[in-house]
Chains A and B, each alone.
Chain A
Amino acid sequence: MLRHIIKLIWNNKKNNFLLFVEMFVSFIILCAVSSFMYFNLQKISQPLGFETTDRLSILLDDLYSKDSLLVADMMTQLDIQLKQEPEIEEVSYTNGPFPFSGNQWTTSTENNGIPNHTLTCETTEDYHSTMDISLKEGRWFRKPLTNEDKDEVVVNQAFIDKNLGGKYTLDSFINIGEEKKLVGIVETYKYNGEFVPNDPTVISYIPKTDRNIMNVVLKMKPGTSIAFQEKLIKIITDVTKSTSFVINNLDDERKKSSHDTWVILSVLLACSVFLFINVAMGLFGVLWYNINKRRSEISLRKAMGATNINIITQFLTEIGGLALLAVIFGLIFAIQVPLFKIIDVDSQIMYTGIGFSVIFVLGLVLVCAFYPAWKGAQIHPATGLKEE
């Protein structure tokens, strides 16, 4: 029977070619779209690693141009003033790569000739408590007591996995350009937002009096009104004698940081749903037409002893076989991308996307074919043989 069906597909290649192309193209598009979606879904499925609710951030972007003694004095003042406010529960400071800044500072080290890229951030010693960062293992770094003290660092799990090959001991020294003492591990710290990949990251200490401080983060009492920001502005203006600072609500920043990706994903999803509804209707229409054109063949087969099940099986095998061929042909192209690392995306993600596409396309084709095939099998043999 299989040979019989293969002959039918082959000898009808002119009619089947368009269907084949349609299924091939749909498969390729689906591979790309589903891999891209999965890539992004995997990213947002990993938590940010810190809290944004009731957190304010103050951007101070001109400290580095000021005299360092002046800055030290100013920051000490600011810290005292802020901590006096009952609405402010906690205060801490970071350098350039602060939450949702879009900034990325990287260092590269070589490990047996393989470059390791690492994101670096610097924060004060109380940052984890201000931001509710929970540690998987170990503890947050402390303020060094003497100048000779080696800096302590906290790294994320991605750093452990990718840059240390999964091997580590807490309180041992690691080399990231300089020797640092590894004291704690967080699962994720995606400070630039949900859709940013969880790349290897190292967080180390910076004093709050440093000229490289760019950001103040505040943990507010829940329910603090927006009116407090006026007071805040006054405090900062008084202490810094400048108005070049920006206050942001981290919840808003968080939403803003993923907004564009959500738009892209939604548009893409809508387009693919639309595309596949079209493909499904097209397939359904073509199959409906094909099977109707073959009414006399169906009647003939029934006259020769075919049961309804025989007829349905035949049509599903024909169209399923054609779909399988289109998918195999598509796989030859699709598989190259992860196999030869044509795009810099985790190949696991693409294999998952491709696997999903195989199942989806074959499933869609069979679902679309079932009704026409079933309807075709209901054709009364006497009527189908009369037509012509």
Chain B
Amino acid sequence: MITLQNINKLYRTDTIETTALNNINLQVDEGEFLSIMGPSGCGKSTLLNIIGLLDEPSNGKIEIKGQTVSNYHTKETAKFRNEHLGFIFQSFHLIPELSVMDNVQLPLLYRNLSQKERNQMASVALESVGLNNRMEHFPSQLSGGQKQRVAIARAIVGKPSIILADEPTGNLDSVMGNEIMNILLQLNQENKTTIIMVTHDENMAHKTHRLMRLYDGRQL
């Protein structure tokens, strides 16, 4: 499903050069739930961004669903992200001016769909995270856990085959965190969605199929 070969990522500024990722090789199978752990600054987000085509590796090769996406142009990556990838972030990244319903529809705006189709798909997604009674609310009217559920609905609304979650429970208390974790587990089991999740929580990591540890840009 996902293959990374010899991925390196260097950040250069005028004064220093940081090696964020050092020769990463990774294979993730279809339907697999992989968690990534490691101390702060070890390169977890960088790795996830590279898999999500939000960032380019300095060198190395990425294959997703049999396609060498590391050679893609920006327009192709945009289309690929839109169709195959869903993102969940630690700080939710909801647009405050938009209602829950409109936030969830965001990925669908970049597809050729009618308003009716978008409403329908968004309703289904919101229902699966248990928020169909909050559709007209605005993000500021929701709790942290609810916000993250909106973000999950947004990630799954386009039916992507891969979900990338960067510390999705990092801003939540343990009750809400577990709620989110259960939704992700259910997604993985029922829809066979491939999930890669960065976490700081050992318990959550142990509920996934496989754990990868990073330290200072290297795999342990």
Contacts and interface: CB of A to CB of B under 8 A. Distances in A.
B97 A382 contact: no
Interface in B76-98: 78-79, 81-83, 87, 89, 91, 93, 95, 97-98
Nearest to B82: A305
A1 interface: yes
Contacts of A296: 93
A302 interface: yes
B89 A385 contact: yes
Interface residues of A, number: 26
Among A305, A306, A307, A385, the most chain B Cβ lie within 10 Å of the Cβ of A305
A304 B97 contact: no
Given A7-B98, A306-B110, A300 B93 contact: yes
A314 to B, nearest CB: 9
B2 interface: no
Contact of B49 (A8, A310, A382): A382
A300 B81 contact: no
B107 A305 contact: yes
Contact of B55 (A12, A297, A382): A382
A306 B78 contact: yes
Contacts of B74: 307-308
B83 A305 contact: yes
Interface string B51-81: 0101100000000000000000011001101
B78 A302 contact: yes
A301 B54 contact: no
Contact of A303 (B81, B95, B109): B81
B95 A1 contact: no
Interface string B128-167: 0000000000100000000000000010001000000000
Interface string B109-141: 111000100000000000000000000001000
A303 B102 contact: no
Given A8-B98, A382-B55, A385-B54, A304 B106 contact: yes
Given A1-B109, A8-B97, A305 B81 contact: yes
A263 B119 CA distance: 62
B131 to A, nearest CB: 18
B45 interface: yes
Nearest to B157: A304
Contact of B81 (A7, A297, A304, A382): A304
Contact of B91 (A12, A307, A310, A388): A388
A307 B54 contact: no
A241 interface: no
A90 B199 CA distance: 103
- Is chain A's interface secondary structure helix, strand, loop, or mixed overall? helix
Contacts of B106: 300-301, 304
B45 to A, nearest CB: 7
Contact of A305 (B55, B79, B93, B138): B79
B110 A305 contact: yes
A282 B206 CA distance: 55
A299 B81 CA distance: 12
Contacts of B55: 380-382
A11 B78 contact: no
Contacts of A8: 97-98
Nearest to A1: B109
Given A305-B78, A305-B82, A305-B107, A297 B95 contact: yes
B107 A304 contact: yes
A3 B115 contact: yes
Nearest to B89: A385
Nearest to A388: B91
Contact of A382 (B54, B98, B99): B54
Contacts of A304: 81-82, 87, 106-107, 109-110, 154
B115 A386 contact: no
Interface in A298-339: 299-308, 310
A4 interface: yes
Among B95, B97, B107, the most chain A Cβ lie within 10 Å of the Cβ of B97
A4 B107 CA distance: 12
B206 to A, nearest CB: 28
A304 B110 CA distance: 8
A303 B83 contact: no
Contacts of A380: 55
A303 B87 contact: yes
Interface string A224-237: 00000000000000
B97 A307 contact: no
B108 to A, nearest CB: 9
Nearest to B138: A11
A305 B52 CA distance: 11
Interface string B27-47: 000000000000000000100
Contacts of B83: 305
B52 A303 contact: yes
A310 B83 CA distance: 16
Nearest to A302: B78
21 contacts: A1-B109, A4-B105, A12-B97, A299-B54, A301-B106, A302-B78, A303-B52, A303-B54, A303-B81, A304-B107, A305-B78, A305-B79, A305-B82, A305-B110, A305-B158, A306-B109, A307-B110, A380-B55, A382-B49, A385-B49, A385-B54
The 8 closest A-B pairs by CB, nearest first: A305-B82, A382-B55, A11-B97, A305-B110, A304-B107, A381-B54, A382-B54, A307-B78
Interface of A: 1, 3-4, 7-8, 11-12, 296-297, 299-308, 310, 380-382, 385-386, 388
